[in-house]
Structure 1
Amino acid sequence: MDLQSRLESSSLPASEHRPVASKRPFNLLRWYAFVSLAIILSVAVGLGLISSRFVINESIERDALLTAQFIQSIALAEVRHVSIPNVRTMGELLDPRLDESFPDVNPEARRAARGEFLDHIAHLPDMLLANIYAPDRIVIWSSNPALVGRMIESDEDLERAFNDKIRVSASYHSVDQARAEQKFITPPEHLFIENYIPLFDADGVNVTAMVEIYKEPRDLIGRIERGLILIWMAVALGATLVYSGLYWLMYRANRQLAAQQKRLINNETFVALGEMSSAVAHSLRNPLASIRSSAELAQEIEEGPAQKNIGDIISQVDRMSHWVRQLLQSLRPLNDAAEVVELDRVLQDSLQAFSLQLKRQGIEVRRDDLANVKVLSQPVLLGQIFNSLIANALEAMGDGGTLRVEQVHQGRKTLVLRLCDNGKGMSVEQMRMAFKPFYTTKQGGLGVGLVLVKRIMERFGGSARLHSREGKGTCMQLTFRVAREPAPN
């Protein structure tokens, strides 16, 4: 390297010396899979939690309402049976400290009336603990005798029930040891419910007593659990169906976009190549024609050793002309409308065209009966497909071999045909590149034959697939659309 070149290379910016990192293409399907999964799971979990909370709250509220109605009905019924003057509500009978405050009332009568009501409270189904509070927050009765006479402080639910004069309910999953009133004789196993039920005076203004009930309704809990299982199963199934459906749609759309993008790139490539090839072909045709005419004229005049050279000139010109025709044909748009084509007749014409070469190379042809098989294609283009595949098979087999034409499958809509040879086969790399334009393994080949086969098959709604093993042979599988017979009148 001279001094000037060294100076120029050393003066390049550092960024020009670094390899440019290739940017990975945006994977729409992968991003959609993750993002949509996260969104659907978030929505599903949110709906499940909201539905679960709604079911639990509504069930607890309903149970609390029924409990309150039951206790208030018992209190009203027991008061009606009490023949004590100046007693209008059960709340006026519950505090034993007031027994001596009414000298005209028999204390035994008050205790008897109170005992009937408390007996009903003590035998409520699913009850864990029952407490009755006086307005001064003193426990005046409890199913746990150890709590009687204790003052309960700092109980928000109790204060709310007294101050707002409303029924208050809450649910718990574990016992709070810090709360003085949660002293169960039989501890709860699962979920338990706490209800505060106020008892009013005759005017319905003042709270004369507050009934606190702790219950563990096993039947209700079982129903809640079954309801939650159904809710979460429905949420999981719904989320799975929504995600699967949307992913399938996006998968189809992504494949369609990729196919359209590929077709667009191919079309742009073929348009550019077609324009270039047309210009080159038109520029070559006249000189090739002049060269061939001059060579033919010289061949008629010259009778010496130059005859062989002149023949080589003519054959090479013919080969170049064939290349030009192939190139133009492979790059021109395929706008021919699909026609009903008799497959057997087109195949027979192609085999007949190669009959001499097949015989000369000692190649045996075995083919299935394709009579009355009609497909959607175009006769000239379909013949070009068979010609290209037969020519490839002849070159692959050399001297001797078998060319098989097999009908693999025929349904209502498609027919699968396979052309196989037992020639030298193809490597994995050759198979990968087989349908690339201008890729060829032939001596002097152009590399557009299989490209044209694939384009023609896809143009008429079919497909072409290549199967080959090195040293074993090659098969080309062609899938055609079957032509439907017109309905009889």
Structure 2
Amino acid sequence: MDIPPRSDTIEVPACSELATSRRPFDLLRWYAWVSLAIIVSVAAGLGLISSRFIIDESVERDALLTAQFITSIADAEVRHVSIPNVRTMGELLDPRNDGNNLLDLDPDARRRARGEFLDHIAHLPDMLLVNIYAPDRTVIWSTNPALVGKLIEGDADLERAFDYRMRVAASYQGVDQVRAERKFVAPPEQLFIENYIPLFTADGEQVTAMVEIYKEPHDLIGRIERGLVLIWLAIAVGAGLVYFGLYGIMHRAARLLAVQQKRLVNNETYVALGEVSSAVAHSLRNPLANIRSSAELAQAFDDGPAQRNVNEIISQVDRMSQWIRQMLQSLRPIDDEAVAVDLPQALQDSLQAYAVPLARGGVSLDLQALPAVQILGHPALLRQVFSSLIANALEAMEQGGRLRVEVVRHDRRSLILRLCDNGKGMSEAQQRMAFRPFFTTKQGGLGVGLVLVKRIMERFGGTVRLSSREGLGTRVSLAFRLFNASEKIRKRS
């Protein structure tokens, strides 16, 4: 039996597949869709409940008024013809009772009362159809003569009205809901209201007749429609305000969370780099010191052709030592306490330190008047910021130029200081990489100057922005928080 060879090869998914399967959780997008679905659902539910409440209350109110009108007319007509109170209009409406059942009543009075009542019913406003039922569900009178004498069976609403003996029952229906008893003389235009109004005996125990009225009250329908429009408009506006208000809060929270996460990642990165750099610097300093000492010793005892090589060794060792110092300085934690710093004095100290290099490089200084303000920061770190920017501007203007320092905005809380040079400038790609660690365009540079500037500015609540054009120069804007004596300065994490 042949046994297939065993394969020990492990298939590793491609990097693109891993990246696709591990996409970061987008909190703002999920919140936007989930909150939209919840708010829309709640708004729709409230709208439907409010709409149904308005419709039902309006219809019930109209039906109640109609029932009160019908019963008042019935009682008034009975009293008008001097019929004893033991008789009610419901007992007089059925012509089949005109025989032996009502011998104690005057036939003319009985017919006159019934005729007056039915005439009032026939001229009700907004009326489409009126049917009057006997207890056996026979139509004893109708505004549509074709329905008189018909027995209506299977009408659940009619049966419910008789069984529960409700004072008034109403429903709001469309024109497509047509039953046998709805033989409208004038069909409704849009919808109609169906009312059931029972007429009782004198003791109120039995239903003697049921008045069914179909109405199309245009004024009431218009009011209901306007009310529904206002309800849905108010709900839509309210839901929109709630959604966009919460979305704005969440958007701001997501941005702050992203900034905090970025700072945390940067801090962890700088901590790791600092630890590695410290270990590397500790391992390199002793060999470099030994190399420099040996070179200096050789320089003292050898005056021959090797002297130039010895000088180059010393120069390169010094440059590597300077790199190590810069790297350690840029990666060390910036946890200095924020204090009030005199901005004009700090800037003047930095410019004074570069006065000779600026003059030697043919760079003229255009210093605008600065307001006498104090900013949040640290004197030594602030001088480091200015020194790095002045040094970069000086190196960008190899053939000389002009360095301009000016205030572009000043309010109660912040101040923006801008340093402009007309040097060689930077490309768009270089600008995007300017604040990345160890990126530099200078020969022999380490690429930590602008990184340190950004860290110092953000440490004390400020920002730094850079804009440049090749051949035209570079502008660096520094936004400082002003010191407020009334506020308590807290140590920023």
TM (normalized to structure 1)?
Answer: 0.92
Shift in alpha-carbon separation, 1:311–1:29, aligned structure 2, 3 A:
same
State the distance in 1 between where 2:399 and 2:428 align: 24
2:49 corresponding residue in structure 1: 50
1:171 corresponding residue in structure 2: 172
Q: 1:93–1:114: 8 Å Cα contact kept in structure 2?
A: yes
Please state how far the C-alpha of 1:474 moved relative to its aligned partner: 1.6
1:433 corresponding residue in structure 2: 433
Matched, 1:182 2:203: no
1:463 corresponding residue in structure 2: 463
Higher mean Cα deviation, 212-221 or 378-387? 212-221
State the distance in 2 between where 1:331 and 1:18 align: 34
Please state how far the C-alpha of 1:362 moved relative to its aligned partner: 1.4
Give the secondary-structure state (helix, strand or coil) at the position aligned to 2:11.
Answer: helix
Matched, 1:41 2:40: yes
1:7 corresponding residue in structure 2: none
Shift in alpha-carbon separation, 1:73–1:85, aligned structure 2, 3 A:
closer
Please state how far the C-alpha of 1:445 moved relative to its aligned partner: 1.2
Give the secondary-structure state (helix, strand or coil) at the position aligned to 2:458.
Answer: helix
State the distance in 2 between where 1:125 and 1:199 align: 21
Q: 1:415–1:482: 8 Å Cα contact kept in structure 2?
A: yes
State the distance in 2 between where 1:415 and 1:19 align: 46
Shift in alpha-carbon separation, 1:301–1:344, aligned structure 2, 3 A:
farther
Higher mean Cα deviation, 60-69 or 283-292? 283-292
Q: 1:409–1:415: 8 Å Cα contact kept in structure 2?
A: yes
State the distance in 2 between where 1:220 and 1:171 align: 12
State the distance in 2 between where 1:85 and 1:442 align: 118
Please state how far the C-alpha of 1:44 moved relative to its aligned partner: 0.6
Measured against aligned partners, the alpha-carbon deviations of 1:56-109 in whole angstroms (never above 9, x if no partner) come to: 111111211221122112212222223346851111111122223334543222
2:249 corresponding residue in structure 1: 249
TM (normalized to structure 2)?
Answer: 0.91
Please state how far the C-alpha of 1:52 moved relative to its aligned partner: 0.5
Please state how far the C-alpha of 1:286 moved relative to its aligned partner: 2.9
State the distance in 1 between where 2:50 and 2:263 align: 49
Q: 1:176–1:182: 8 Å Cα contact kept in structure 2?
A: no
* Paired AA for residue 172 in structure 1: Q
Please state how far the C-alpha of 1:341 moved relative to its aligned partner: 1.6
* Paired AA for residue 423 in structure 1: G
Give the secondary-structure state (helix, strand or coil) at the position aligned to 2:479.
Answer: strand
Shift in alpha-carbon separation, 1:17–1:337, aligned structure 2, 3 A:
closer
Measured against aligned partners, the alpha-carbon deviations of 1:406-441 in whole angstroms (never above 9, x if no partner) come to: 211011101111112222222222222211111222
Measured against aligned partners, the alpha-carbon deviations of 1:93-136 in whole angstroms (never above 9, x if no partner) come to: 11122223334543222110111211222222322221111122
Q: 2:83–2:105: 8 Å Cα contact kept in structure 1?
A: yes
* Paired AA for residue 364 in structure 2: E
Please state how far the C-alpha of 1:154 moved relative to its aligned partner: 2.1
Please state how far the C-alpha of 1:262 moved relative to its aligned partner: 1.4
Matched, 1:340 2:336: no
- For 1:136-155, list aligned pairs within 5 A: 136-155=136-155
Please state how far the C-alpha of 1:229 moved relative to its aligned partner: 1.8
Shift in alpha-carbon separation, 1:151–1:430, aligned structure 2, 3 A:
same
2:88 corresponding residue in structure 1: 89
1:128 corresponding residue in structure 2: 128
- For 1:401-412, list aligned pairs within 5 A: 401-412=401-412
2:24 corresponding residue in structure 1: 25
Q: 2:370–2:406: 8 Å Cα contact kept in structure 1?
A: no
State the distance in 2 between where 1:73 and 1:282 align: 108
1:159 corresponding residue in structure 2: 159
State the distance in 2 between where 1:175 and 1:70 align: 29
The percentage of aligned residue pairs carrying the same residue is 69
State the distance in 1 between where 2:188 and 2:85 align: 41
Measured against aligned partners, the alpha-carbon deviations of 1:323-366 in whole angstroms (never above 9, x if no partner) come to: 11111111111111112222222222222222222222212221
Please state how far the C-alpha of 1:40 moved relative to its aligned partner: 0.8
State the distance in 2 between where 1:348 and 1:284 align: 37
State the distance in 1 between where 2:223 and 2:85 align: 45
State the distance in 2 between where 1:424 and 1:187 align: 87
* Paired AA for residue 94 in structure 1: L
Shift in alpha-carbon separation, 1:262–1:320, aligned structure 2, 3 A:
same
* Paired AA for residue 92 in structure 2: L
1:285 corresponding residue in structure 2: 285
Give the secondary-structure state (helix, strand or coil) at the position aligned to 2:444.
Answer: coil
State the distance in 2 between where 1:447 and 1:153 align: 96
1:266 corresponding residue in structure 2: 266
State the distance in 2 between where 1:345 and 1:293 align: 41
Please state how far the C-alpha of 1:50 moved relative to its aligned partner: 0.8
Q: 1:393–1:403: 8 Å Cα contact kept in structure 2?
A: yes
Q: 1:393–1:421: 8 Å Cα contact kept in structure 2?
A: yes
Please state how far the C-alpha of 1:458 moved relative to its aligned partner: 0.4
Structure 1's unaligned 5+ residue stretches are: 1-9
Q: 2:296–2:314: 8 Å Cα contact kept in structure 1?
A: yes
Q: 1:100–1:107: 8 Å Cα contact kept in structure 2?
A: no
Q: 1:175–1:182: 8 Å Cα contact kept in structure 2?
A: no
* Paired AA for residue 181 in structure 1: E
Shift in alpha-carbon separation, 1:370–1:301, aligned structure 2, 3 A:
farther
Q: In the comparison of the two structures, how many residue pairs are matched? A: 477
Please state how far the C-alpha of 1:18 moved relative to its aligned partner: 4.7
Shift in alpha-carbon separation, 1:353–1:304, aligned structure 2, 3 A:
farther
RMSD: 2.2
State the distance in 2 between where 1:408 and 1:472 align: 20
Q: 1:130–1:214: 8 Å Cα contact kept in structure 2?
A: yes
1:353 corresponding residue in structure 2: 353
Higher mean Cα deviation, 247-256 or 51-60? 247-256
State the distance in 2 between where 1:12 and 1:297 align: 61
State the distance in 2 between where 1:465 and 1:48 align: 50
2:192 corresponding residue in structure 1: 192
State the distance in 1 between where 2:413 and 2:26 align: 34
- For 1:297-376, list aligned pairs within 5 A: 297-376=297-376
Measured against aligned partners, the alpha-carbon deviations of 1:446-487 in whole angstroms (never above 9, x if no partner) come to: 111111000000000101111122232221111001123679
Measured against aligned partners, the alpha-carbon deviations of 1:133-172 in whole angstroms (never above 9, x if no partner) come to: 1122222222223322222222211111122222321111
State the distance in 2 between where 1:63 and 1:103 align: 38
Higher mean Cα deviation, 220-229 or 21-30? 220-229
State the distance in 1 between where 2:83 and 2:259 align: 94
1:452 corresponding residue in structure 2: 452
1:384 corresponding residue in structure 2: 384
Structure 2's unaligned 5+ residue stretches are: 1-5, 488-493
* Paired AA for residue 280 in structure 2: V
Matched, 1:13 2:9: yes
* Paired AA for residue 203 in structure 1: D
Please state how far the C-alpha of 1:274 moved relative to its aligned partner: 0.9
Measured against aligned partners, the alpha-carbon deviations of 1:362-411 in whole angstroms (never above 9, x if no partner) come to: 12221211151322111111111111111111222211222221211011
Higher mean Cα deviation, 416-425 or 293-302? 293-302
Q: 2:416–2:479: 8 Å Cα contact kept in structure 1?
A: yes
Higher mean Cα deviation, 452-461 or 347-356? 347-356
